[in-house]
Amino acid sequence: MLSMESSLTIAVVREPPLSPSQEYNMGSEHHFQVDLRGMIDLLSDHLYSGPQVYIRELLQNSVDAVTARKKIEPDYSASIRLEVIETDGSSPPTLVMTDDGIGLTEEEVHQFLSTIGKSTKRGIDRSDFIGQFGIGLLSAFVVCEQVVVITRSVKPDSPSIEWKARNDGTYTVRILEHQGEPGTQVYLRCKPGCHEFFEPEFIVNTAKHFGAHLPIPITISVGEDRTLINDTPPWRYEFASEQMQLERFLQYGEDVFGVRFLDAIPLSAPSGGVEGIAFVMPHSSSTATRRKHRVYLKNMLLSEDADNLLPDWAFFVKCVVNAKDLRPTAAREGFYEDQYLDATRDELGGCIRQYLVRLANEHRDRLNRIIDLHHLPIKGLAVEDDEFYEMFVNWLPFETSLGTMTLEEYRQNNEVVRYVSSRDQFRQVSSVAAAQDICLINGGYVYDDELLQKLPLVFPNQQIEKIDVSELTQEFTDITLEEREEVFDLIQVGNLVLQPYQCSVDVRKYEPANLPTLYTINEAGTFMRSIDQTKDMANDLWSGVLDSISESQVSIANAQLCLNYHNPLVRRLAGLKDRELLRRALEMLYVQALLLGHYPLKAAEMKLLSSGLLGLIEQAVDKQQEEESDE
């Protein structure tokens, strides 16, 4: 019987060994000493999401061992067995995990079980294996003080080996006299304070959680009870009808997430060997939502919050998928960004797209329900995909000055698609535009601007027009030449008075008649206002910086005060002979329009407000006194 004691080593030495002369020159070589207990603490704090992952790591090793054996003996029907040995309390409970996989030789035991960071699966074609980081077995020390492995390799003439490791970093290896069947048994004895991780219910639930979809039979026995935990995922079934498939998928979604989803989309992406289901969320969500998907890697649960699997626009679905050929990141939060993931993402996006197109042709009611809740992601897809755009854009809802409507409804009544590009612009004019029956789209929401700009590309005869709100009033009914004569002075004085405020004056006819003025300003104009307002208080240096920034904006800034010819007050002002009174009245109308539009006043406008108000009062008082003295 051979037995020896060694310590676990860490696979960090990558340099070739030094020759004796080098050693002499450079001093003697030493290995780092790593405290295993400290390292396990580190691992359990940082790498593992919790002690329960020890079951996943062990399952993973067993599955890989079985897979390796099947490569040599394709017909071998292997299985994995977990046995929980409960005790009366005098000694700690033990978990035994047995597989009839490939097993290890003595050399392999030293090499792989005892060198942390070295994996049997490194350097070979690992596409069939789940594990690859060489740290799996370590996780057992999170719940055990001692791990015993009994293993026998399928390689000819391999004896049974016992490897006993302790959490202080020492281990022993013996060759056993009794020769068992090829395979591996791992004995884990619960350490104090970890009893909850050895309770049968916990073990069954955890093994199911991680391994239920594995294709290798896994049984768990506790005393006389035996449970087979395997459960074939629904995407691997053939269904007699589409309806049955949908029902089964939705039921699965409810079981897994506790949510009754709106719809379920079958997924398949050959590039990454991905199969699964995308569930349509039953409530709407914003573009910034990072959906967390449940992903299996080679049928073992990898992560419940993978977030990089789908195209950005697909934030209205939550997935369960199994991937065969994607690389997990070490932290297991998702997959590594490479060309396969890229191609997979495109293919999965394609599945969702195709499904929507099919609904459009066969189940419009179901599609409408999805559009109602999820027009945002569907708009996102339409921006990226021309063909999809052509088919869907007409059904998408837009906010307009005459209420929300689909683009189809809009286009039926309007030859030219007209829109403003920001919500601020829309706010300025929407109600007045509505009163003139002008239908304007608010392009200030995510995707809308892009969608509208794309219209003439996809429908060559469709005209679009982006409206500058400061010019919108030009579409209101113009006044006649005679009327223009009547308001000539009004316009001239107005332009003069408001020139220091970069605002021009026009007169048009519009509804409602009780509205005397409409102030409109374009985006550059709004920005200029905020600069002027800030300059009022800034020091020289900053004032200079602000001037520099505004340079390019001055020429395109545009603001206008449009007086309403239908309004009685405006008509009376037009007849006013007193220029001074007219000036003050126009200044006040300007300030009032700013206040009504919630525009903060610049210092000069504030002054206008106070002096104008006082001036008007004075003028009224003077007039009263004149009349009184006349009497």
Partner 1 sequence: MSDSDSLQEMIWEAQDLPKGLEKMAALEEAIRIADSIKDIEAGYHARIELIVSATDNGFKEKAMVAFAWCLSTFDKNPDQYDCFDILWYFKWILDGSTEFTSISRERIIGLQDEMEQRLNHFEFSLRPIHYLRMDTFNAMGDFEEAERWFKEWKKAKRDSIADCRACEKNSEVYFFAAQKKDAKALKLASLIIDGKMSCSSVPQTTYGGIVRPLLRLGKIEEATKRHEECFRMLSGKRDLIGPVSEHLLLLAHTKNKTKGIRLYEKTLAMVHDSLNDDDRFRFYAACWPFLEMLANNTKRSTRKLRLPSSLPCYREDAKYDPMELSHWFYNQANDLAQRFNQRNGNQYYSEILQESHELALAKD
Using CB under 8 A, list all residues that contact partner 1: 286-289, 308, 312, 337-339, 342, 384, 422-424, 444-446, 450, 453-454, 456-457, 460, 464, 466, 527, 530-531, 533-534, 537-539, 541-542, 544-546, 548-549, 551-553, 595, 598-601
Q: With respect to partner 1, which residue has the nearer C-beta, 107 or 536?
A: 536
Cα–Cα distance for residue pair 462/494, rounded to 1 Å: 39
Cα 91 → chain centroid: 49
Q: How far is the CB of 460 from partner 1 (least distance, A)?
A: 8
Amino acid at residue number 193 = G
Nearest Cα residue to 349 out of 374, 391, 378 = 378
* DSSP label of 479: P
Q: Residue 186: how many CA atoms within 13 Å on its side-chain side?
A: 31
Cα–Cα distance for residue pair 55/340, rounded to 1 Å: 29
Cis peptide leading into residue 192 (ω within 30°): no
Q: With respect to partner 1, which residue has the nearer C-beta, 115 or 453?
A: 453
Q: With respect to partner 1, which residue has the nearer C-beta, 7 or 543?
A: 543
Q: How far is the CB of 434 from partner 1 (least distance, A)?
A: 20
Q: Which two tokens stand for residue 421?
A: 């590009």
Q: How far is the CB of 543 from partner 1 (least distance, A)?
A: 8
Amino acid at residue number 487 = V
Q: With respect to partner 1, which residue has the nearer C-beta, 274 or 452?
A: 452
What CA–CA distances, in Å, run from 554 to 470, 520, 543?
Answer: 15, 16, 15
Nearest Cα residue to 587 out of 602, 605, 601 = 605
CA-based R_g, the chain, Å? 38
Q: With respect to partner 1, which residue has the nearer C-beta, 308 or 495?
A: 308
Q: Return the C-alpha torsion angle 314, 317, 321, 324, nearest 10.
A: 0
Q: How far is the CB of 600 from partner 1 (least distance, A)?
A: 3
Cα–Cα distance for residue pair 311/392, rounded to 1 Å: 18
Q: How far is the CB of 284 from partner 1 (least distance, A)?
A: 13
Q: With respect to partner 1, which residue has the nearer C-beta, 171 or 313?
A: 313
Q: How far is the CB of 333 from partner 1 (least distance, A)?
A: 12
Q: Return the C-alpha torsion angle 520, 526, 530, 536, nearest 10.
A: -50
Q: How far is the CB of 626 from partner 1 (least distance, A)?
A: 37
Nearest Cα residue to 137 out of 151, 152, 116, 168 = 116
Q: How far is the CB of 427 from partner 1 (least distance, A)?
A: 8
Query: Which DSSP string do the residues of 410-466 spell out, in sequence order?
Result: HHHH-SEEEEESSHHHHHHHHHHHHHTT---EETTSTTHHHHHHHHHHHSTT-EEEE
Q: Which two tokens stand for residue 152?
A: 């026998």
Cα–Cα distance for residue pair 9/490, rounded to 1 Å: 93
The residues that bridge with 222 in the sheet, in sequence order, are: 84, 225
Q: With respect to partner 1, which residue has the nearer C-beta, 73 or 346?
A: 346
Q: Which two tokens stand for residue 8?
A: 């676990």
Q: How far is the CB of 466 from partner 1 (least distance, A)?
A: 7
Nearest Cα residue to 396 out of 431, 427, 356 = 356
Q: Which helix (H) or strand (E) holds 473?
A: none
Q: With respect to partner 1, which residue has the nearer C-beta, 239 or 459?
A: 459
Amino acid at residue number 2 = L
Q: With respect to partner 1, which residue has the nearer C-beta, 69 or 602?
A: 602
Q: Residue 12: how many CA atoms within 13 Å on its side-chain side?
A: 8
Q: With respect to partner 1, which residue has the nearer C-beta, 358 or 427?
A: 427
Which residues 6+ apart lie within 8 Å of 409 measured at CB? none
Q: How far is the CB of 464 from partner 1 (least distance, A)?
A: 8
Q: With respect to partner 1, which residue has the nearer C-beta, 23 or 337?
A: 337
Q: Residue 356: how many CA atoms within 13 Å on its side-chain side?
A: 30
Q: With respect to partner 1, which residue has the nearer C-beta, 271 or 422?
A: 422
Q: How far is the CB of 504 from partner 1 (least distance, A)?
A: 22
Q: How far is the CB of 330 from partner 1 (least distance, A)?
A: 10
Nearest Cα residue to 83 out of 70, 95, 71 = 95
Q: How far is the CB of 534 from partner 1 (least distance, A)?
A: 5
Q: With respect to partner 1, which residue has the nearer C-beta, 136 or 443?
A: 443
Query: Which DSSP string do the residues of 191-247 spell out, in sequence order?
Result: PTT-GGGG-HHHHHHHHHHHHTT-SS-EEEEETTEEEE-----GGGS--SSHHHHHH
Q: How far is the CB of 555 from partner 1 (least distance, A)?
A: 13
Query: What is the torsional sign of CA 447, 448, 453, 455?
Result: positive
How many other CB atoms are there within 10 angstroms of residue 100's CB atom? 22
- The packing angle between helices 448-458 and 364-384, to 10°, is 90
Q: How far is the CB of 345 from partner 1 (least distance, A)?
A: 9
Question: Cβ distance 165 to 75 under 8 Å?
Answer: no
Cβ neighbourhood burial of 74 (10 Å; 0-12, 13-18, 19+): exposed
Q: With respect to partner 1, which residue has the nearer C-beta, 133 or 445?
A: 445
Amino acid at residue number 360 = A
Q: With respect to partner 1, which residue has the nearer C-beta, 225 or 338?
A: 338
Q: With respect to partner 1, which residue has the nearer C-beta, 263 or 523?
A: 523
Q: How far is the CB of 229 from partner 1 (least distance, A)?
A: 35
